[in-house]
């Protein structure tokens, strides 16, 4: 299996994107039968990672991964950088047509300004996804690491290696893309449990989609 990496830059998602060099072809909605396509998003103002996987039963298959970068434009122009992220997310959705998205929940860190910037980038990602009528599930980095590596405090290099193994990739993806693929894998692990509870009628609006503290909308 060949790893696909798309790179979208501040020049704009169309100008800065590289066409997929491998992985699986995009599918039209309704053509995947029992397969669910999951888009993982690791938000960041400079670099937003994305990863797409297919889930057929318990089998996970790699589709594509890459990053949206905003570092090539005017760094002080925040609205323009957010537009690059927004347009990039919508282009990824149009290209790969996922059924659901999984986004990392971010927290306040020691730098309030950096937290504010990250929060705006994350909000931009979620807005782009819901504007495409995609359901959005949310998980913390700790939940993602636990689901992928079995250890919530795993190093990023461990996440990269486990993503490589779980998706049978020839090489480990870069960190941002690996985290995004990890978020997609996390939702793949969580969704069967949520669906089973929903079928039993034990989920309501408040608890639906909760996976060890995660959220789903």
Instruction: Give yes or no: 176 in active site.
Output: yes
Is residue 42 flagged as an active site residue? yes
Taking Cα atoms as reference points, which of 120, 109, 102, 94 lies closest to residue 17?
94
What is the helix, strand, coil percentage profile of the chain, to 5?
Answer: 40, 20, 35
- Confirm whether 54 is a catalytic residue: no
192 and 36 Cβ atoms separated by less than 8 Å: no
* pLDDT for residue 126 is more than 50: yes
- Give the separation between CA 178 and CA 158, rounded to whole angstroms: 10
212 has a pLDDT exceeding 70: no
The predicted model scores a pTM of: 0.79
CB of 32 closer than 8 Å to CB of 54: yes
Q: Please give the residue that has the higher pLDDT: either 207 or 198.
A: 198
* Number of compact structural domains in the chain: 1
Question: Which residue is catalytic, options 69, 91, 176, 179?
Answer: 176
Q: Which of 42, 69, 91, 179 is catalytic?
A: 42
Q: Name beta bridge partners: 68.
A: 8, 48
pLDDT at 213 over 80: no
Residue 211 binned pLDDT confidence (cut-offs 50, 70, 90): very low
The predicted pLDDT at position 67 comes to 97
What domain range is 196 assigned to? 5-216
pLDDT category at 42 given cuts 50, 70, 90 is very high
Strands 136-140 and 215-216, by their bridges, are antiparallel
Q: Which of 54, 69, 91, 104 is catalytic?
A: 104
Looking at residue 217, its pLDDT comes to: 47
Q: What is the CATH number of the domain that holds 195?
A: 3.30.420.10
- Per the model's pLDDT, the better-predicted residue between 11 and 126 turns out to be 126
pLDDT in tens, 94-122: 999 999 999 999 887 788 889 999 999 99
């Amino acid at each position: 299996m060949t790893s696909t990496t798309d790179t979208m830059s501040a020049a704009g998602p169309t100008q800065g994107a590289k066409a997929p060099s491998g992985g699986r072809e995009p599918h039209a909605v309704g053509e995947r039968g029992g397969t669910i396509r999951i888009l993982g998003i690791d938000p960041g103002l400079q670099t937003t990672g994305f990863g797409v996987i297919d889930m057929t039963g318990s089998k996970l298959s790699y589709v594509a991964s890459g990053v949206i970068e905003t570092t090539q434009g005017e760094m002080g122009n925040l609205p323009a950088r957010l537009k690059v992220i927004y347009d990039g997310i919508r282009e990824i959705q149009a290209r790969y047509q996922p059924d659901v998205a999984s986004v990392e929940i971010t927290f306040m860190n020691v730098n309030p300004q950096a937290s504010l910037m990250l929060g705006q980038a994350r909000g931009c990602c979620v807005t782009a996804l819901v504007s495409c009528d995609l359901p959005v599930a949310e998980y913390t980095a700790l939940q993602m690491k636990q689901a992928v590596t079995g250890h919530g405090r795993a190093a990023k290099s461990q996440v990269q290696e486990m993503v490589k193994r779980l998706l049978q990739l020839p090489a480990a993806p870069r960190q941002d893309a690996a985290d995004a693929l990890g978020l997609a894998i996390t939702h793949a692990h969580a969704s069967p449990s949520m669906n089973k509870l929903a079928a039993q009628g034990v989920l309501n609006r408040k608890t639906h989609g909760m996976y060890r503290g995660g959220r789903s909308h």
